[in-house]
Amino acid sequence: MRIATWNVNSVRMRVPRLLPWLQQRRPDVVCLQETKLSDAAFADLLGEQLDGLGYRFAHHGHGQWNGVAILSRVGLDEVTPDFEGQPEYAGVVEARAISATCGGVRVHSLYVPNGRTVGSDHYDYKLAWLDALRAAVATGPAHVALCGDMNVAPADADVFDPAAYIGQTHVTGPERDRIAAFGLVDVVRERWPGERVFTYWDYRAGMFHKDLGMRIDLVLTSRSVADRVAAAWVDRQARKGSGPSDHAPVIVDLDSAPDGDIGPVVPPPSNPVKRGRGVRLPQAPRPDK
DNA sequence: ATGGTTGCGCTGCAA
């Protein structure tokens, strides 16, 4: 089962990149963030085409800002927008979270508040939001994957220049403590310890070209899911070329569960990775430069 | 070149 997460920075603007990417990478479950659409607009824009590609979908958005979705062709059950106890900002519960059970895994598509500046009300909101999410996830199913734009770089290795980020959001102790507090496995970092791996590069000043980025899009899973990881990588190709998002997708391949109880409901059609009997799965591609 | 981009939506704000 292939799970991907991608902050698309407006799904309407990203349709020319998203649809070919779905056909090329063929993820079974896709978490999207910053769709910036209402539920009705998302269905109007993509419903027919996603159906044609074999995806069911659940979207949660109010238009203009935020907006999250889960696409799945391995089941989409118990869809839940928001989470228990999700804090408000300016009197509104923003559309930043949706969860569903897909192929036996409780999948969350998350767009964590940015925090803006340290000590601002938005920063406090970000911390409270992460605290409440942790409490909600703790009461949920054991086989879990938190996927999305966490807006936190878990360690200094996850930013291009730690000195440049001192005093900035995304790298502070309180934010990092809250990511660690989930007690989940950061599967890309576990697979690539010590590698320079980023998922976000500012549009300005040729940051992507110079590989001056941050790793803030994460897949955090229970150990039960992490033990099934065959590959975990950042799809930098999707950040290249014309009209990209400022974020690249993160892609995670899971082998079937050892006891078979949480494997994919259906095998992925025409998987580009050949799975001959007795043939070892290939290593994930190195995060290229 | 003394900033640099993009998206939303129409004026500046968010990222």
Please tell me which residue lies nearest to nucleotide B8, judged from CA to C1': A64
Prediction pTM value? 0.90
Q: Give the rounded percent of residues in chain A with a pLDDT score beyond 90.
A: 89
Q: Is the model's pLDDT at A285 over the cut of 70?
A: no
**Mean pLDDT, rounded, for A154-176:** 97
**Residue A218 corresponds to which tokens in the numbers above?**
């994460």
Better-predicted residue by pLDDT, A10 or A263: A10
Please tell me which residue lies nearest to nucleotide B3, judged from CA to C1': A205
Q: How far, in Å, is the CA of A281 from the C1' of nucleotide B9?
A: 48
Q: Answer for A203: CB within 7 Å of strand B.
A: yes
Which nucleotide has the least CA–C1' distance to A10? B7
Place of tokens 């300005």: A204
> How do residues A30-73 score in pLDDT, each as one tens digit?
999 999 999 999 999 999 999 999 999 999 999 999 999 999 99
Query: Which bases of chain B come closer than 7 Å to a protein CB?
Result: 4-9, 14-15
**Residue A68 corresponds to which tokens in the numbers above?**
């999250």
Q: Answer for A114: CB within 7 Å of strand B.
A: yes
Q: Answer for A204: CB within 7 Å of strand B.
A: yes
| pLDDT range class, residue A257, cuts 50, 70, 90 | confident
Which nucleotide has the least CA–C1' distance to A11? B7
- Pairing assessment for the beta strands A250-254 and A229-234 based on DSSP bridges: antiparallel
Q: How far, in Å, is the CA of A64 from the C1' of nucleotide B10?
A: 14
17-46 on A, CB < 7 Å from strand B:
36
> How do residues A72-125 score in pLDDT, each as one tens digit?
999 999 999 999 999 999 999 999 999 999 999 999 999 999 999 999 999 999
Burial level of A121, CB count in 10 A (0-12/13-18/19+)?
Answer: exposed
